[in-house]
């Protein structure tokens, strides 16, 4: 099979995009997805995303981690998919799409900044050493003093695979406060099983967690990731975080074909 693909990245979180509106892609072939995401023998990416037709929204998002397995919501991937849909002529500056966690809405500005509405967060679990919440994907959030010398892969892997989260695991975020409304983060992603340069649902989780534990009173928060800068905005109604927006660039890298 000759596969046409498109490479996109959002603050360094990179994805292989495939237009699967004709339903030709073998969606159960875990090894194929893993191969395409391989940085040495394939195209390379933190994940693979299929764009498909949907009866009620502009399109559907089907997301795979780089280990080849279907996964939970990917915020940066969703933003990149909106940019991809615009390049295909499916949308102009507004989009609605279905992902594994439900319906999402997004806008894309002329400068390429994509604002993606994330799922509401109904529960934030606060523990003495960390915070846990689900922003479309499960996230463990903990503060660190020496963030930039941290062995994220080793420590993140140990927490992700611990009895704390069982077989399903969790994404692990390490955080340092930069200012009243800005935080630097590094994230270990399950499914990639390594640190990534950016994680959209992780950035969202950190912003909400920092607000929940009183580290910031603001509801528009800057998140410095390894690959750039994201913003997260939200409102709070009772104990629920609503109108959660993940905001940042989504950039086309290249188009190609590969035999598989």
Of the residues 37, 80, 199, 260, only one is catalytic, namely 199
Give the model's pLDDT for residue 117: 98
pLDDT in tens, 157-198: 999 999 999 999 999 999 999 999 999 999 999 999 999 999
Of the residues 37, 74, 80, 260, only one is catalytic, namely 74
Q: 40-68 burial string, b = 16+ CB within 10 Å, else e?
A: eebbebbbbbbbbeeeebbbbbbbbbbeb
Give the model's pLDDT for residue 210: 98
Give the model's pLDDT for residue 86: 98
Give dist(CA 62, CA 136) in Å, integer: 14
Counting Cβ atoms within 10 Å, is residue 35 exposed (0-12), middle (13-18) or buried (19+)?
Answer: middle
Give the model's pLDDT for residue 61: 98
Give the model's pLDDT for residue 221: 98
Give the model's pLDDT for residue 80: 98
Residues with pLDDT less than 70, the chain = none
Give the model's pLDDT for residue 129: 97
pLDDT in tens, 33-43: 999 999 999 99
Give the model's pLDDT for residue 98: 98
199 an active-site residue? Answer: yes
């Amino acid at each position: 099979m000759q596969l046409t693909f498109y490479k996109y990245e959002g603050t360094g979180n990179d994805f292989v995009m495939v237009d699967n509106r004709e339903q030709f892609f073998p969606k159960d072939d875990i090894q194929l997805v893993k191969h395409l995401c391989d940085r040495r023998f394939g195209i390379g990416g933190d994940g693979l995303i299929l764009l498909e037709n949907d009866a009620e929204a502009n399109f559907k998002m089907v997301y795979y981690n780089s280990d080849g397995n279907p996964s939970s919501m990917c915020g940066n991937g969703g933003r990149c998919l909106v940019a991809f849909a615009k390049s295909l002529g499916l949308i102009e500056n507004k989009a609605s799409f279905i992902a594994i966690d439900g319906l999402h809405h997004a806008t894309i500005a002329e400068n390429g900044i994509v604002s993606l509405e994330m799922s509401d967060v109904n529960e934030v679990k606060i523990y003495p050493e960390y915070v846990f919440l689900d922003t479309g994907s499960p996230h463990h959030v903990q503060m660190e003093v020496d963030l930039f010398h941290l062995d994220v892969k080793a420590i993140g892997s140990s927490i992700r695979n611990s009895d704390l989260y069982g077989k399903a695991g969790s994404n692990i975020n390490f955080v340092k406060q930069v200012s009243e409304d800005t935080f630097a983060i590094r994230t270990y992603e399950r499914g990639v099983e390594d640190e990534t340069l950016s994680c959209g649902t992780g950035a969202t989780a950190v912003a909400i967690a920092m607000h929940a534990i009183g580290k910031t009173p603001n509801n528009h928060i800057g998140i410095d990731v390894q690959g750039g800068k994201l913003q997260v905005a939200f409102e709070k109604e009772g104990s629920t975080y609503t109108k959660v927006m993940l905001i940042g660039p989504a950039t086309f890298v290249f188009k190609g074909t590969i035999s598989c």
